Chain A
Amino acid sequence: MRVHVNGDAREFPEGTTVADVLEALGTARQGVAVALDGQVVRRGDWAGAVVPDGARLEILTAVQGG
């Protein structure tokens, strides 16, 4: 299935969770937050949050700014 991660289309197997996506991308766990189709997924829910086909996943972190 296809998931749009930070705007890039990527292929993942059915049943992939938010935690699986972060693992596959090698994203740091600290200081990041995830929105699945515009809704924040709490850190504690990452392992249980299944990503549907065609979903938009945004993974944000803090950078220098402002």
Chain B
Amino acid sequence: MSDNQTKEPGSATLILSMVLAGLISGVAIIGVFEATLPTITLNKAKELREAVFKVLPGVSKMQKLRFANGRLQVVEDNKVGEDVIYAGYDAEGKFIGYAVPSEGPGFQDTISLLYGYLPDQRKMVGMEILDSRETPGLGDKIFKDLEFVANFKDLSVDPTIVAVKKGKKAKPNEIDAITGATISSKAVVRIMNVARERWEKRLPPPGNEPELKL
């Protein structure tokens, strides 16, 4: 039994006990971080691959490209960023389209998404939300509401994508916004337009896409 109640421990004891606790805790956290890191990275990579195949119908092979020094280069690292784009190819290695990742502010937090783009037809063929913290039940319809997601299955990108009130969609570049989640819907559109503008000048003319490197 300790006699902590009666005897006052010295400062050294107090500091030592805190340091010791911090040390043990630090080691435990490093341990679990190291142990789970491979799984977490793998999960993320798998999620991204699946998303690429989802937003680009007919694609069975993909490679990662980075825009550097004025041209697209095939890369194989795990780094992400605004210079990264994914190219999708069919089983014979013929180029189909790009999967463009982009992120920006949503209603609550950053929304990050991926969309499939066919440069020869200048249209979008799919959209997948990778990460978002939109309001459950309202804002999260940007990926839960299949009608909204279907908006992006055949969407012209010229001159720019526009979100209109639900049911008012008339032109090929318009999408129906979600009732009750206008801000989230508009955020998705804005994030796409930003990415579209960013890549407009960077992408090579249709037909000159990088070959699939095996």
Question: Do the two chains bind?
Answer: no
Q: Write the residues of chain B forming the contact surface with A, with a CB cutoff of 8 angstroms.
A: none
